[in-house]
A and B are shown apart, each in its own frame.
Chain A
Amino acid sequence: MRNIHSSHALGRTILAALTSLAMLTGLAGCADGLAGQQVTGPTVRIGIKFDQPGLSVKDGSTYSGFDVDVAEYVADKLGFSKRQIQWVQAASSQRETLLANGQVDFIVGSYSIDAARKKVVDFAGPYFVAGQDLLVRKSEKSITGPQDLDGRKLCTASGSTSAQVIKNNFSSNVQVMELSGYAECVTALESGTVDAVSTDDIILAALAAAKGDNDLRVVGKPFTKETYGIGVRKGSVELKRKINEALQQMISSGTWKKDLTAATKGTGYTPNPAWNPPATMNAQNSDHDVSHFLKTAKSSTSSASSSASASSSSSQSSSKKGE
């Protein structure tokens, strides 16, 4: 709470405490009310991840990526300029706690909406729908999907559920290496220590592009549906409504598409058109139920993958196998 305003006389501590309370419950209203009173102006604290290529990357003191663009757009609509944003690192396992304690006002951090999380936080959005996919070496021909990983070596970031999805639904004998981040996984992939890296497709595409030497490729057949939402504190109905409005505006004004194109520039990544941009801000749950998923994916990818003739035949056989 003490971070909301930069400096105060002692007598204003109570006011600061009250305003910070107000900010947690009704953010935008507070901004209007305080703008005239405070010299430094109010700030908004947004939780993001610092190490997700394509989504949010901290480089020195600058932040870039699609999550950052979305966060800045939403903050702008709530009445906060870029200079009034305080970025807070929100690691996966800390996101719910940060929101519950009021250490951040909202979180835009590849935050997949799911039923368990909805019990403790509220979600605005979804603002983007990704899918879990695989990143392999370009010379690797024998891995065409998660079902080919039995006995092979896979790298994921520790604490993520990506490896579990593959183990439980596709290849139970996959060998898993959990490293602290995906950049380390890519190093292991290039050195041949592992055969594949798995997480959401948009991150994989950015990882492959960041390497620059063009010897990695994304398999291109996502096998889960991850709906990214903006997490707000449980019960923040008003804030959630305002964020949803901002997101809808971002999509309808074309800023969403422009920012996404810019963030994935040079990666060759196109988001699944059946899911993106999300049509309604209904906080739809992510979908890890693969059998159900493959049916919908088959119909939606049949048109999208027609250009990739080399892989289309294998894609069909693999989706049949999944059913």
Chain B
Amino acid sequence: MDFVGLLTHYDVVGAFWVNIQLTLWSALFSTILGVILVLMRISPVGSLRGFATGFVRFFQNMPLTILMVFLLLGAFVQLRLQFSSDFTTNFYWLAITGLSLYTSTYVCESLRSGINTVPIGQAEAARSLGFGFFQSAFLIILPQALRGAIAPLGNTLIALMKNTTVAAAAAVASETSSLMNTMIEANADQILTIFLIFAIGWVILIIPVGLLTTYLSNHLAVRR
């Protein structure tokens, strides 16, 4: 089987589409969760700060593969927690859960680094104008923090995209790294070609994200 044969016989584009979908859903949920976490970390309530710190420390320092395997073998096989009785849907959402838990900690830390770029005077001014916690967070602090956190958030997004291949550990069999293994298993004489197909595919996918991140971080950064 040659290069064209490989591309027509296997749904390579479909596999990349699965990774893109995993990226988009996980990015959405990890952003929501990440914002909640960072709000907890800067909140005046000590127990919330403590919980968020513990959560971030725990999931940030756990290898993603181990988290995925736990969700699959621990949460699903042993504890019978499932999203759907259909395997494909179930594993898909298990993977998104794992990716979101893991990535949200990096989103939280990226945002927190952005918050550290906002001068303390901004928060004091908001408070002196009578803004409450959520008002000053959403109207004053976070918008500025976001603009300062574009670069780390972009890196987190790129890491997330690549991490979606770990979904194979949560039995998502249609994504790229699984398809690559299947193709190698059946076409042992074409290992280099198969590897190049996926390597180039990923590079094409990720380079624009990197360029966009650089562009945005240059243009949106708050000049002080």
Contact = CB atoms under 8 A, between A and B. Distances in A.
B169 A120 contact: no
Interface string B76-91: 1110000000111001
A175 B173 contact: no
Interface stretch (A54-62, A91-99, A241-249): A91-99
A180 B76 CA distance: 15
B186 interface: yes
Contact of A178 (B1, B69, B178, B185): B178
Main secondary structure of the interface of A (DSSP, over half): mixed
Interface range for B: 20 to 34
A207 B189 CA distance: 31
A114 B77 CA distance: 35
B88 to A, nearest CB: 7
Contacts of A95: 188
Nearest to B82: A193
A159 B181 contact: yes
Interface in B165-203: 168-169, 171, 173, 178, 181-182, 184-191
Nearest to B194: A93
Contacts of A184: 73
Contact of B181 (A93, A120, A163): A93
A178 B168 CA distance: 8
Interface in A85-132: 92-93, 95-97, 114, 116-117, 119-121
B211 to A, nearest CB: 32
B72 interface: yes
A161 interface: yes
Given A175-B87, A178-B171, 10 more contacts: A116-B190, A117-B189, A158-B181, A160-B185, A164-B186, A177-B91, A180-B169, A184-B73, A188-B77, A191-B77
